[in-house]
Amino acid sequence: MSYRTRAAYALFACLLATVASGCYGVVLTSPSPTYTHVAGRFAVTGSMSAGREVATATLLSDGSVLVAGGDGDSGFLSSAEVYDPRTGTFAPTGPMTAPRGVHTATLLHDGRVLVIGGRDGSADIYDPVTGVFSRTGALTTPRQGHTATLLHDGQVLVAGGDTDAGVLASAELYDPVTGTFSPTGTMTTPRSPSSATLLQDGRVIIVGGENRSGILASAELYDPATGQFSPTGSMMTDRNQPSATLLPDGRVLVAGGNQTSAELYDPATGMFARTGSLAVYPDTGSVTVMADGRVLFVGWTTPPTSPLLGNPTVFAAAEIYDPRSGAFGVTDPLIMPRDLATATLLRDGRVLIVGGSAPASAVASGGTGSSVLASAELFQP
pLDDT tens digits, one per residue of 11-52: 222 222 222 323 333 333 332 356 899 999 999 999 999 999
The answer to whether position 342 is within a domain reads: yes
* Residue (of 13, 15, 18) closest to 331 by Cα position: 18
Residue 19 lies in a domain: no
Does residue 133 belong to any structural domain of this protein? yes
Angle, CA 242 vertex, CA 156 and CA 306 arms, to 5°: 145
Q: Does residue 4 belong to any structural domain of this protein?
A: no
| Bridge pairing between strands 89-93 and 80-84 | antiparallel
Domain ranges, residue 328: 41-380
Residue 16 lies in a domain: no
Total domain count, the chain: 1
Taking Cα atoms as reference points, which of 349, 316, 336 lies closest to residue 376? 336
Question: In the β-sheet with 204-207, what is the strand arrangement from edge to edge?
Answer: 195-198, 204-207, 219-223, 228-232
- CA distance linking residue 346 with residue 54, whole number of Å: 20
pLDDT of the residue at 260: 86
Report the distance separating Cα 101 and Cα 193, nearest Å. 13
For residue 228, the model assigns a pLDDT of 98
CA distance 245 to 237: 17
Q: Identify the CATH number of the domain in which residue 225 sits.
A: 2.120.10.80
For residues 68 and 197, what is the distance between their CA atoms, to the nearest angstrom?
22
Determine the Cα–Cα distance for residues 332 and 152; give it in Å rounded to an integer: 37
From CA 297, how far away is CA 256, in angstroms rounded?
10
In sequence order, the 6+-apart residues with CB closer than 8 A to the CB of 50 are 72, 77, 79, 81, 374
Tell me whether residue 11 is in a domain: no
pTM: 0.88
Determine, yes or no, domain membership for 226.
yes
Would 48 be classed as within a structural domain?
Answer: yes
- pLDDT tens column, 187-228: 999 999 999 999 999 999 999 999 999 999 999 999 999 999
CA pair distance 54, 267, nearest whole angstrom: 30
Over the Cα atoms of the chain, what is R_g? Answer: 19
User: Lowest-pLDDT range, 141-145, 281-285, 325-329?
Assistant: 281-285
Give the whole-angstrom CA distance, residue 68 versus residue 347: 20
Do 267 and 201 contact (CB within 8 A), yes or no? Answer: yes
Q: What mean pLDDT value characterizes the chain? A: 86
pLDDT at 90 over 90: yes
Name which of 277, 273, 270 is nearest 256 in CA terms: 277
